[in-house]
Amino acid sequence: MTDDLLSELLAPLRLEGVFHSRWTARAPWGVAGEGEDCALIHYVQAGTCTIELPGHEPVRLAAGDVAVFPHGTAHRVADAPGRATVPLESLLPVRPPGVARTVRIDGPGAETTMLCCGLHYDAAAAAPLYRALPPVLVLDRAALAGQPLLAGTLAGLAGEWDQAAPGQGLVALRAFELAFVLALRAALGSLAAGEPVLRALRHPAVGPALLAVHRRFAEPWTLERLAAEAGLSRSAFAAAFRELVGETPMRHLTARRMQEAARLLAETPLPHHAIARRVGYRSDVGFHLAFKQWYGTTPGDYRRAGEPAR
């Protein structure tokens, strides 16, 4: 896996904002959160906690550990496994991006302090490989020590919590974005070799093809050309790509092109014919038909609606 490929997989997400909070909780305590339409980060500053997800073994976090939830998967956080919980909504009923909150849970037991954030992104832009990431990725304190930039960013965020300096909101957004990318990069390196997403990224043929699709999507790719880029026969490449990525190479290419087309329609005044060329279509009609088939609406209606695709 190359950092270039990771960058190309993350770039289309277009992180849009962050809600962050600092938690101080004394045992016994437990909080249950529903699934969130964003990525989540939990960083334990002091004490310990347990994360529980349906169908998974409990994960114990200690001071200096960080957990990343790429898809905002529903989970429970408590001082101990099996602890009774209260809904997150009862403690933080509203969590708009750009806002920070402090939460305190009183009790007679040991204290845990955590820094949590929700990074909102365009879910429609998530690549299939991103969607294939595990529900939670954990870096323990020892692993974090090997990532000085990530460790320093998290420590800085925790240390500046009570400061109200000018631009603090923007600084927090950018810092959490950086922490998210750094944590994801480090966690991917520690995944088990059998994880499909890691196998795809590290595959000597599929990996370069993925990088080509995500970086050079405007080129006139065919299955034969992608297979040649991968150094495999057409049939062998198509089979390996589908097994590891979960869809055909050409559908993956179309997804990337449509992601970029939707972004250009929403964020730029470029005419449709120019967008068509930028995303690899030599025919305006071909682009129009492909976009309508993909999103269920025409490029013009999409632009006029001014809403992200679902």
Structural domains in the chain, CATH included, are 3-189 (2.60.120.280), 203-305 (1.10.10.60)
Distance CA 157, CA 175 (A): 7
Q: pLDDT tens digit string along 211-254?
A: 888 889 999 999 999 999 999 999 999 999 998 888 899 999 99
Q: Which amino acid is at 108?
A: P
3-7, 106-110, 224-228, 245-249 — which is least confidently predicted?
3-7
> Would you say 45 and 116 are in contact if contact means Cβ atoms under 8 Å apart?
no
Structure tokens at 217: 């999507």
pTM for the predicted model, two decimal places: 0.78
> What share of the chain has pLDDT > 90, as a percent?
57
Strands 100-105 and 17-26: parallel
Q: How far apart are CA 156 and CA 163, in angstroms?
A: 11
